[in-house]
């Protein structure tokens, strides 16, 4: 399964494409989409939509994993990222490709095995799991690859559950 991970942002949107099969995960491509700071917000969002549409068309993923928004200190930056994330979600949804969202804690748990792992631990595990010589740069691309890995691990878990359903009572 080809999985596209997307780390939302306004200035930099990280992306990472992996191929995941049972027990094997391979990095296919990673990078970043950027928008110029001097453009007005609306123009940046329009550019972001076009760039994400083009990225999805070129990479042809079978699933898209996007990070849920988390911000702690700078509410202004958080709002701008929320705008960009909305554009990314809308564009991905319009593509018709299955879309999944993960919290930072879920990504850390899936990649490192500990939901409160530090960023450097996640980045090093991305390097190790994908057998890369160096941590992908920019950091946003490494984060996007971590999202794709998270989905690969979650999807196989969900697939196994769907094939062997467990009756749950509430």
Reading phi first (left if > 0) and then psi (alpha if -120 to 50, else beta), residue 141 is in alpha
Task: Identify the active-site residue in 38, 118, 140, 143.
Answer: 140
| 117: number of Cβ within 10 Å | 18
Task: Identify the active-site residue in 49, 53, 62, 67.
Answer: 67
Task: Identify the active-site residue in 7, 38, 124, 139.
Answer: 7
Task: Give yes or no: 143 in active site.
Answer: no
Classify 15 as helix, strand or coil. Answer: strand
In degrees, rounded to 5, the angle at the alpha carbon of residue 111 between the alpha carbons of residues 106 and 114 is 65
Task: Give yes or no: 67 in active site.
Answer: yes
**Encoded tokens for 130:** 């994908």
Alpha-carbon dihedral of residues 145, 149, 155, 157, nearest 10 degrees? -160
Residues contacting 35, CB < 8 A, separation 6+ = 10, 11, 44, 47, 48, 51
Q: Known catalytic residues?
A: 7, 67, 140
């Amino acid at each position: 399964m080809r999985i596209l991970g997307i780390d939302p942002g306004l200035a930099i949107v990280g992306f990472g494409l992996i191929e995941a099969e049972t027990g094997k995960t391979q990095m296919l491509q990673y990078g970043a989409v950027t928008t110029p700071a001097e453009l007005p917000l609306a123009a940046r969002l329009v550019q972001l939509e076009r760039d994400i549409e083009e990225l999805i068309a070129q990479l042809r993923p079978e699933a898209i994993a996007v990070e849920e928004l988390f911000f702690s200190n700078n509410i202004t930056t958080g709002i701008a990222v929320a705008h960009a994330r909305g554009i990314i979600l809308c564009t991905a949804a319009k593509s018709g490709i299955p879309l999944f969202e993960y919290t930072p804690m879920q990504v850390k748990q899936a990649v490192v095995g500990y939901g409160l792992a530090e960023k450097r631990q996640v980045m090093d595990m991305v390097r190790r799991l994908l057998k890369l010589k160096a941590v992908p740069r920019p950091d946003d691309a490494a984060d996007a690859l971590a999202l794709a890995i998270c989905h690969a691990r979650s999807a196989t878990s969900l697939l196994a559950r769907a094939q062997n359903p467990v009756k749950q009572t509430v």
